[in-house]
Chains A and B, each alone.
Chain A
Amino acid sequence: MLIEIKDLYKNYVMGELEVPALMDINVQIAKNEYVAIMGPSGSGKSTLMNILGCLDTPTAGQYMFNGVDVSQLDDDALSAMRNREIGFIFQNFNLLPKLTALQNVELPLVYAGANKHERHEKAIQALQKVGLADRMSHKPTELSGGQRQRVAIARALVSKPGILLADEPTGALDSKTGVEIMALFDELQREGNTIIVITHEQEIADYAHRTIFIKDGRIHSDTPNKKRNF
């Protein structure tokens, strides 16, 4: 199993109170799976994404990633995990506005300590993969929403991470562009990537092969997607 979550709890401290955000979460995700995590806002799906993405640590329970107990890692090790194993794709792209597309894509490799030449090569490859080879020297503001999201995907892909973690990846895009992005996800999955999409839209969840539904901090259902199961 790529991801194994056992009896995971997450509480937030709000002043004097401890508010539970996730309770009793047990999930296993295999390599090359395509999973949608669904739930209404406030259900805890974002908290789960943060934990999956090593941005946050659980209060109790275990999160094993590729055999590594993530809940035991310190801040530097978590940073390294994010750098090497997690490819984040955000709703609002989260590109650095002052950098060109190429520089944005290079950034994870900068923190991985890769040399200039290697960074360049890999970033160009990633941009080619998402079909933006001709927009490399453009700044995000000079790109359309769809193109920006493609740059973000290239950035997520560039360090060949264990999972792609997409948080409402089409939330800021029109429906046509959204469809294109989801098609790109399909392609990436076929090439062997493991993809986890967090969304509250059923249409987006339908692209995945499995849907985990979260409600009030607990897993409500975890079902294979009939439409896509082949």
Chain B
Amino acid sequence: MQYEENIRVALRALIDHKFRSFLTMLGIIFGVASVITMLSIGEGAKREAIAKYQDLGVNNIIIREKKLSDQELEEVRAKFSPGLSLQDASVIKEIVPGVIYTSSQSELSTDVKYTDKSAKSTVIGITPEFVNIMNYKTGQGEFIGEKHYDAALRVCVLGAGVARTLFGSENSIGKMVKIGDQWFEVSGVLQSKTLFTETVGELAARDLNNDIYIPLSTFLNRFTHENMLASQIQQITVQVASSERLVEASTLINGILQRHHFNNEDYNIVIPFELLRQEEKERQIYNFLLGAIAAISLVVGGIGIMNIMLATVMERTREIGIRRAIGARKSDIMSQFVTEAVAISITGGIIGVILGVTLSLSVSLFTDIKTVIPLYSVLVAFGFSVIVGISFGYLPAKNAANLKPIESIRYE
């Protein structure tokens, strides 16, 4: 029997029993829709995590001063720990194999002013290597470079947020801003960065767009921390050649710092890539669970199809008998009913895909959860619905094919 004829018969059967077909499809519809929605939520979370960690640098090790109370700080200093220093950074670069760059930074919260406008900001003193480690890009002007650092110039690069607060749409390059009680010339403005909405390890969530970058040399010359006991620098960012060396390098760094800080734990080591991997692992378990739930709903959908197909075969015994009498082979009957089951499951699959896509878009639109629909999820969900149709349509179709023509043609 021709394939085209099979499809025609199957579609007609589907249309003749619209409501029944729809009910039968529901299982598949929900199954497919849930697969797509769940995978899109998972994918969204994954993309977000990757973006977040990419900001921190996948090959980076971040060493940060631990937040200590004044009393703790006194204790630590009494035990001879000088806190994080430029010396730490240079030792790390010298000793630890695989390290390409180290960048030190010192931070201070202060007010910035331009004419009558002011903003609360974090001033960060950085070394020129910073730009090699972080993928920060200036929207206008230039970033802090060797020439600014070596001459300890009073130049600054504004985060997009600060720039907007102080200058609005006005061009800020070359203008003078007052940071704390010091005047700085704006040399560049950063492109807007995504908000840091989650705390990563010891790195607190904050808005990077409110940061102002100045050369570390200038920072150390002109600013002093309120607390006299504060460390020289707040963070050292180390970039290694490849992510395989991260763990090895961080162990070594920890050893060095322990020695230099006289075993005082006044710093934290964060490896963004390791955190990413951990999150990935957790997500895998979550994805597996979601997949299992979706698979169950597809199987239940399949059972629904099988059930209705068994009933359909019974109902159409006579038709089967007639078709057999005029020359249909068993395989013709078989493929007719499998096609019918597949038509139901494919239609369900299509509706499911539409529903799933709609759901994940609405989740994106109406909640804070970001969703990304990966193409493979649509293909997987759709493919599964076809497989479900074939496998659960097989048994009823086989029953139909094995009906005895003489008996079925007399079936009332």
A19 proximal to B (CB < 8 A) = no
Query: B405 touching A111 by the CB < 8 A rule?
Result: no
Give Cα A95 to B326, complex, Å.
11
A62 proximal to B (CB < 8 A) = no
A50 proximal to B (CB < 8 A) = yes
Q: Give the Cβ gap from A49 to chain B, nearest Cβ, in Å.
A: 10
Q: Give the Cβ gap from A115 to chain B, nearest Cβ, in Å.
A: 8
A45 proximal to B (CB < 8 A) = no
Chain A residue contacts of B405, Cβ below 8 A: 55
B329 proximal to A (CB < 8 A) = yes
Cβ 8 A contact of A107, one of B318, B323, B406: B323
Q: Which of A28-36, A81-89, A196-204 contacts B (4 or more CB under 8 A)?
A: A81-89
Q: Which of B318, B319, B405 has the most A CB atoms < 10 Å from its CB?
A: B405
Query: A111 touching B319 by the CB < 8 A rule?
Result: no
Q: Which of A72-80, A176-184, A206-214, A219-227 contacts B (4 or more CB under 8 A)?
A: A72-80
Within 8 A of B (CB), among A105-141: 107-108, 110-113
Known A-B contacts A94-B409, A111-B1, A111-B332; A155 and B326 likewise in contact (beta carbons under 8 Å): yes
Residue of A nearest to B401 (CB): A75
Known A-B contacts A53-B325, A88-B325; A76 and B330 likewise in contact (beta carbons under 8 Å): yes
Q: Give the Cβ gap from A123 to chain B, nearest Cβ, in Å.
A: 13
Query: A79 touching B406 by the CB < 8 A rule?
Result: no
Main secondary structure of the interface of A (DSSP, over half): helix
Cβ 8 A contact of B324, one of A79, A80, A95, A112: A79
Query: B322 touching A96 by the CB < 8 A rule?
Result: yes
Give Cα A53 to B405, complex, Å.
11
Query: A96 touching B329 by the CB < 8 A rule?
Result: no
Query: A82 touching B325 by the CB < 8 A rule?
Result: yes
Query: B323 touching A76 by the CB < 8 A rule?
Result: no
Main secondary structure of the interface of B (DSSP, over half): helix
Query: B330 touching A108 by the CB < 8 A rule?
Result: no
Give Cα A80 to B329, complex, Å.
8
Give Cα A56 to B321, complex, Å.
13
23 contacts between A and B (CB under 8 A): A53-B325, A55-B406, A56-B406, A75-B329, A76-B329, A79-B328, A80-B329, A82-B324, A82-B326, A83-B327, A84-B327, A88-B326, A95-B322, A96-B319, A108-B326, A110-B1, A110-B2, A110-B5, A111-B1, A111-B323, A111-B326, A111-B329, A112-B327
Q: Using a CB–CB distance below 8 Å, which chain A residues touch chain B?
A: 50, 53, 55-56, 75-76, 79-80, 82-84, 88, 90, 94-96, 98, 107-108, 110-113, 155, 159
Instruction: Identify the 4 closest CB pairs spanning chains A and B, nearest first.
Output: A83-B327, A111-B327, A79-B329, A108-B326
Q: Using a CB–CB distance below 8 Å, which chain B residues touch chain A?
A: 1-2, 5, 12, 16, 318-319, 321-332, 405-406, 409
Further 19 A-B residue pairs, CB within 8 A, beyond A75-B329, A96-B322: A55-B405, A76-B330, A79-B330, A79-B332, A80-B329, A83-B327, A83-B328, A88-B326, A94-B318, A94-B322, A98-B16, A107-B323, A107-B326, A110-B2, A110-B5, A111-B327, A111-B332, A113-B1, A113-B2
